[in-house]
Every structure is written in structure tokens, then in C-alpha cells.
Amino acid sequence: MENKKIKLVIASGKGGVGKSMLTSSLAILFKQNSYKVIAVDCDVDAPNLAIWLDEIKGWDKIQKISTSEKPQINYDKCNGCGLCAKNCRFNAIEMVNGKPKVNPFLCEGCGACEALCPKKAIKLKPVKNGEARIKRTKYGFMLVSGQLFPGETGSGKVVSEIKEKAQKFNYNLMIIDSAPGTGCPVIASLQDANLVILITEPTPSGFSDLKRVLQVVEHFKIPWMVVVNKWDINKKLSKKIENWAGKKLLGKISYDKKIFKAIANFKPIMETNLKAKKEIKKIFGKLKHKIE
């Protein structure tokens, strides 16, 4: 592993199935086994990896980032023709007292208004639409977390920016906590990945969404494996998922209400005596063998 750089993505089609729990636990375990780990929270709409690591305070660096643009109007040049408002497909511009007014919460920064303005009164300018947070955790590995600001757009671009910042650190294993679903931030998380762990739960929506995100993973031809969390809440469906995964099954984690109590007290799973800790260690053992 000394000369290799592995990017491992933890992804899911559905939210709330255990991505951050698994990511945080694997980051700790790999670090304890002498890997140069960096953990990256790429769920920029709702980052919570720091919570699972009890690292919500004391960031070494917080930096605002800009990955999108919004129009600014020079009213000295504007003649009030209304072309911008008429042609904005997002309804982000409305005419108020004969002058265009931009609603920044609806604007996608597409640039149509700038291109159409006959008086060149509209210019797209960069806006700070997110931030990057960086710190060294108490476990000794770096944590990089992204946050898209409320009402802003460009989550996929924010993810790419966060990963670029993480890339500057010395590592041989980057563990990426992806957003759920199949959208832009997920695609950005999967870029350059060497292996994807798809975590799901034995519910109809969990299994269905697992298949949806798998289509994205297979489109990019990335190797993948499956973890079934809360497997014992529906043993019949869990068995169906296990049979479907076949040799791709990496492991299972039991349902335990004490997990929620642990996270409510900011206690990482690897610092508990819960059954999930042993199960994740077993998953880690198989995964370690897989990537070496």
C-alpha cells in the first residue's frame, strides 16, 4: 500500500442507512492498522461525518469556496426591456417597477440573462456558495468536510472542490462519505474511485434505491461490494438482498437502538462495546484483504 493511493467511496441510494457510521468506523480502523487515512465528507447538503467522529468543534481551517456565479445588474445601463425576466427558465428574475430583480434562491447561474441583455447590463459574478472545513482528528487522520450554503446551488462542484483539497494531503487511503441518491454530488464523489461500498437496509425502498445507485456505479465501471445494515429488521428481505449480491456481499450489521444513543452522546461506534462494533471489524477484515 505504500505507493498506492486508494479512493474508497461509501455510497447508498437511500439516506439514513448507515453511510457515515460505516465511514467513520472504517477510517478509525484503517488508521489503527497503520494506513495513511484521510476521511472526506462529500454529503455537502447535510454533512455529519464529524458528528460520528465526535469532531464537530475545533476545526483547523474553515474556508469559504466559490463554485457558482450569480447575475449582478447595472441599473445605469438597464433599459427595463424585460428580456431577462421573460426568458429565465427558473423564474429567478421578475420585473419590479420596470426593473429586473434577481431572486438568488431561484437562480441557477445559467447565464442566459447575461447573454440576452441587449445593453450588456448583466454580468455573472462568483458567489461564495459553500465552505470547506479541515482538521486533524484525535485519531490522527485528517478530516475534510464540505458544506453547501442554504439556498445555494452547485453541490456537485462543491464536492469536486472538497476532494481537490483532500488530494493535497499525504495519504494511501481516502475514505469518502457520499451523499445518498444518484445526483451530481454522488457522481462527483464517485469520480476516480477505486472501490465503492454500497450500504443498504432490508426495506423495499432501500433495495430499490440500491439498484438505482448501482446503475451509476456500473456506468463508471467501478468495482463494488454491498453491506446490509439493520439486516435483522426484515430477515426475509435481507436474505433476498444477500442472494442478489452473492460474492459482492461484504457483510451485515445488526439493528441496535443503542447506536442512536451512542451518536446522540457523540460516541463513535469504535469506542463502544456494541455488537455493531464487532460486525464492522469483521467487514474491515474482509475489506482490508480486498484492497491489499
Q: Which of 56-65, 87-96, 148-157, 176-185 has the lowest average pLDDT?
A: 148-157
Residue 58 has pLDDT above 70, yes or no: yes
Residue 29 lies in a domain: yes
Strand 61-65 versus strand 130-136 pairing type = antiparallel
Residues 59 and 141 in one domain: yes
pLDDT score of 176: 98
Residue 1 lies in a domain: no
User: What nine digits make up the cell of 17?
Assistant: 442507512
Let me know if 11 is exposed, middle or buried by CB neighbors in 10 A (0-12, 13-18, 19+): buried
Residues 62 and 72 in one domain: no
Residues 38 and 152 in one domain: yes
Residues 18 and 118 in one domain: no
- Arithmetic mean of pLDDT, 80-90: 96
pLDDT score of 129: 93
pTM (2 decimals)?
0.91
Task: Centre a 10 Å sphere on the Cβ of residue 138 and count the other Cβ atoms it contains.
Answer: 12
Q: Three-state DSSP class for 225?
A: strand
- Specify the CATH number for the domain of residue 229: 3.40.50.300
Residues 119 and 224 in one domain: no
pLDDT score of 2: 54
Residues 151 and 104 in one domain: no
pLDDT score of 151: 84
| Per-residue burial over 213-241, b = 16 or more CB atoms within 10 Å of its CB, e = otherwise | bbebbeeeebebbbbbbbbeebeebbeeb
- Specify the CATH number for the domain of residue 114: 3.30.70.20
- Cell 498506492: give the residue: 4
Residues 149 and 203 in one domain: yes
The answer to whether residues 212 and 13 touch, using CB atoms and an 8 Å cutoff, is: yes
- Arithmetic mean of pLDDT, 116-123: 96
Residues 41/45/51/52 CA torsion (nearest 10 deg)? -60
| Per-residue burial over 89-117, b = 16 or more CB atoms within 10 Å of its CB, e = otherwise | eeebbeeeeeebebeeeebebbebbbeeb
Residues 59 and 76 in one domain: no
Domain that holds residue 177: 6-66+130-291
Summarize pLDDT for 235-290 with one digit per residue, the tens: 999 999 999 999 999 999 999 999 999 999 999 999 999 999 999 999 999 999 98
CA angle 94, 128, 58 (to 5 degrees): 140
